[in-house]
Chains A and B, each alone.
Chain A
Amino acid sequence: MRGKGTVTPLSSVFSVEDTQKAAKRVQDTIAQKDLELDHLRGFAADNTDLINLVARLPEHLHHDIMVPFGKAAFFPGRLVHTNEFMVLLGEGYYAERTSKQTVDILNRRGKVLESQVDSLKAMVQDLKAEASFFNATATEAAEGLVEIVEDYEEESSSDRECTPKQDYANNSRAVIAQPADEDEEFARMMARMDELEKEEREAESHMAQSDEDEQLQHGLHQLSDQKSLHGNLKISEQYQSRKPPEQTKDGIASNEDSFTDVPSGSGLVSKYEVSHENILGRDVKSVAEKDLVSPVVENVQTVPLSRSQVSLESSKPKFDREKAFTGSIVEHADNLQIKSRERTTAISQSSASQVSKPVSRFKMQRK
């Protein structure tokens, strides 16, 4: 693979110790703030208790209590004037108030405390987010995670776009939005495709539509085989049965960064089969499918199955667009059929992968 990027181990960008120290620092601040929060919460609890007490006192004219005397003594006494309170307003200022007024003062104080608690909580939240980020970076740096940066190659992608566009000029939806990538394989594929195209044009075959379809399908199968894990074929077939309305285009569009191999491959096949199902005699549509298939096929590459699943799912909603396509594609039907067939054949030939029975039949027919 062409390596046109930089590989930077995370540990170099943020040294392991530094990240750990930073994480620790944030943890300490969090602990501090937590202590303060507990403090404030204690105040709030005391406040509510006091409010209850002050509210209850005026119920009696006098209360019999044990009065504290010094540090270690009490004596029995009486609490009189049960409705008069000397309330501390703050900063050494006291005010004489009744029970009800005192309760009001205490309530206001409680509100202030609450707002302080809320602001502290918000701070702790932010700190915790910071801490989690630091911890993550610390663990990543420790594990030796590497940051890979690769350039987006505009030129190569535009080149690839040209070739398919030539063939399917009527395909307005340039699904051929080839993902920008630096894969040599892809370039090779494209070059091979071009060669095969030429060969096809020279040697025109007049195979029956059904044969073409079969071949194309086999070719597609071959493609997916060759590019992706063996046995994906069957899985892709399963995919087809499960998600018929997959759109290859969507597969391509959704996988811009990676080559939509299995997904596109399976998507292609599924679409193809769907077209077959829906438009039995309509070669046009099948041709259209092929058109879509071919550019998608080019994108085929090894991709884990899970990814293909994702792309397949994402491609579902765009199925309707396909049906609108039918008319424009008719014109280039023959050329495209041949081209796609050529491509698939070429691809199958170029790759030294296993050839399933249908593929070999196709091969034999061609040569």
Chain B
Amino acid sequence: MGSSSAQRELQRELEAKANDLSKIQKDISKNHQVRKKYTIQLGENELVLKELDLLSEDANVFKLIGPVLVKQDLAEARANVRKRIEYISAELKRLDATLQDMEEKQNSKKEAIFKVQQRIQSLQAGKAKA
């Protein structure tokens, strides 16, 4: 009887760990999606900066804010785009770190689950022998 209750406990443990693992995996996939978005934005901003640099100094630059096209200073526009690029890169780095963290957690959870499974198996083997 004691062994069966121990087995039940182990199985509950296993379930809990499995839930944690699935949560972590969802987080990882979300992280991936956000990373993708940021990467695309970064690419676009780099392209804009390239074009802005190619513009001659007297060209008119406008920014679309809602339904309004607002005239912008070329230098100002360049600075803004550069700042945006820096911000996005920093975000990406942060996301990378979080992703690494989550992957490590995922691996450790997997190992823990595996150990619990092994214990269950050994318990069952012991039961079968007895």
Chain A residues within CB distance 8 Å of chain B: 86, 89-97, 105, 108-109, 112
Contact = CB atoms under 8 A, between A and B. Distances in A.
B44 A93 contact: no
Nearest to A84: B60
Among A92, A93, A94, A97, the one with the most B-chain Cβ atoms within 10 Å of its Cβ is A93
B55 to A, nearest CB: 6
B51 interface: yes
B60 A105 contact: no
B47 interface: yes
Contact of B64 (A92, A96, A97, A112): A92
A186 to B, nearest CB: 45
B61 A91 contact: no
19 contacts: A86-B69, A89-B47, A90-B48, A91-B45, A91-B48, A91-B81, A92-B63, A92-B65, A93-B48, A93-B61, A93-B64, A94-B61, A94-B63, A95-B51, A95-B60, A96-B60, A96-B61, A97-B59, A105-B51
Contacts of B51: 89-90, 95, 105, 108
Contacts of B45: 90-91
B62 A94 contact: yes
Contacts of A97: 59
Interface in B40-99: 41, 44-45, 47-48, 50-52, 55, 59-65, 69, 72, 77, 81, 84
B62 A90 contact: no
B47 A94 contact: no
Interface of A, helix, strand, loop or mixed by DSSP: strand
A39 to B, nearest CB: 13
Chain B CB within 10 A, most for which of A92, A97, A108 = A92
Residues of B in contact with A, size category? 20 to 34
Given A108-B51, A109-B47, A112-B47, A93 B69 contact: no
Contacts of A92: 63-65
B59 A91 contact: no
A91 B60 contact: no
Contact of B81 (A93, A94, A109): A93
Contacts of B50: 108
A89 B59 contact: no
Contacts of A108: 50-51
Given A93-B52, A93-B77, A108-B50, 20 more contacts: A86-B62, A86-B69, A89-B47, A89-B48, A89-B51, A90-B44, A92-B63, A92-B64, A92-B65, A93-B48, A93-B62, A93-B72, A94-B63, A94-B64, A95-B51, A95-B59, A95-B62, A96-B59, A96-B61, A108-B51
B69 A94 contact: yes
B54 to A, nearest CB: 8
Nearest to A95: B61
A140 to B, nearest CB: 29
A190 B62 CA distance: 93
Contacts of A112: 47
Nearest to A105: B51
Contacts of A90: 44-45, 47-48, 51
B50 to A, nearest CB: 8
A79 to B, nearest CB: 19
